[in-house]
Amino acid sequence: MAEIFDLRRLEASIAPLLAAGEALTRHELPATRHALKRAAAYVERTWIDFASGHPIPGTDRTVNSTEYRNGITKTQVGRFAWIIHNTAGAVADRVEDGTPKRDLKEEVATWRRRRETNDGLASYAHIPFRHKVAAIKKAAAKSPGLARRITRMKKSRVVGRYKDKRGIMRNAYRWGARVKSDPELDVPARLVGMVRFEASAGKAGSSVYMTFRTVSTRSPAGTWIIKKKDGVPMVQKVREATEQRVTQMVAEGLDTDLGMLG
């Protein structure tokens, strides 16, 4: 669990005030408690903004990850105590720490969901790549005929599940059309083999465009290298962006409470 801002430390600083007198103890510092709640929400909101592709001060990197963003939450752990943290686990670690260089050709034989060739001498797996609609439009901009063909393709669908001979549950598909190489339409290589998947919910019509590529222990060397990706110090950046305002908010709440006590 990535912890970004621990407001529990403020409880220790407030403790002497709480012990200073019976009247103060009865008062329970409502303005301070409210300020802490607002501060926790402010930190959480800032973190979510940074995880939604918004500019992050001090770096030219951006992060836009739904799973990472959904893990951001705040938790109250005492009268004057809040923790803002990320529960996305490995996803949060990858964002923060980055990922090392990988060779999928060397890894595929160890994957649980791998398949084996009929001769049993090689392992392989199908890797799905999802295409953004904006990227498809850009790639097909030079060929109106290709753009029309893509939007009119018969959709593929997931029609069920089955268990393979190794006991692994897999999707069963009813395949529609695929984008084929066509010199007349100038089809970009990355779109060759692309399918249009049905992704409708209820009556809403929508599609997801995907290409499946096969990685195998027989793939040519160097064709499945995933480059190292540096991490983004989100915890540090959000703390830097919010700490001054958080301190100000809590100080204002505490001043209000002390003023009410005369």
Tell me which amino acid residue 17 is: L
Per-residue confidence in pLDDT tens, the chain, 262 aa: 445 555 555 444 545 544 443 444 456 788 888 998 999 999 999 999 999 999 999 999 999 998 999 999 999 887 778 889 999 999 999 999 999 999 999 999 999 999 999 888 899 999 999 998 888 888 888 788 888 888 889 999 999 999 988 899 999 999 999 999 988 888 888 899 999 998 876 555 688 999 999 999 999 999 999 999 999 999 899 999 998 999 899 889 888 888 876 6
Q: What is the pLDDT of residue 135?
A: 86
Residue recorded with tokens 């984008």 = 179
* CA atoms of 43 and 48, how far apart (whole Å): 9
* CA atoms of 226 and 188, how far apart (whole Å): 21
Q: What is the pLDDT of residue 132?
A: 86
Q: Is the pTM of this model over 0.75?
A: no
Q: What is the pLDDT of residue 18?
A: 46
Q: What is the pLDDT of residue 51?
A: 95
End-to-end CA distance of the chain: 42
* CA atoms of 230 and 124, how far apart (whole Å): 28
Using CB atoms within 10 A of its CB, is residue 36 exposed (0-12), middle (13-18) or buried (19+)?
A: buried
CB of 80 within 8 A of CB of 33? Answer: yes
Which pair of structure tokens corresponds to residue 226? 């995933």
Q: What is the pLDDT of residue 262?
A: 60
Q: What is the pLDDT of residue 165?
A: 85
Q: How many CA atoms lie within 13 A of 221 on its CB side?
A: 0
Which pair of structure tokens corresponds to residue 251? 């100080």
* CA atoms of 72 and 58, how far apart (whole Å): 21
Which pair of structure tokens corresponds to residue 180? 């084929």
202: left (phi over 0), alpha (psi -120 to 50) or beta: left
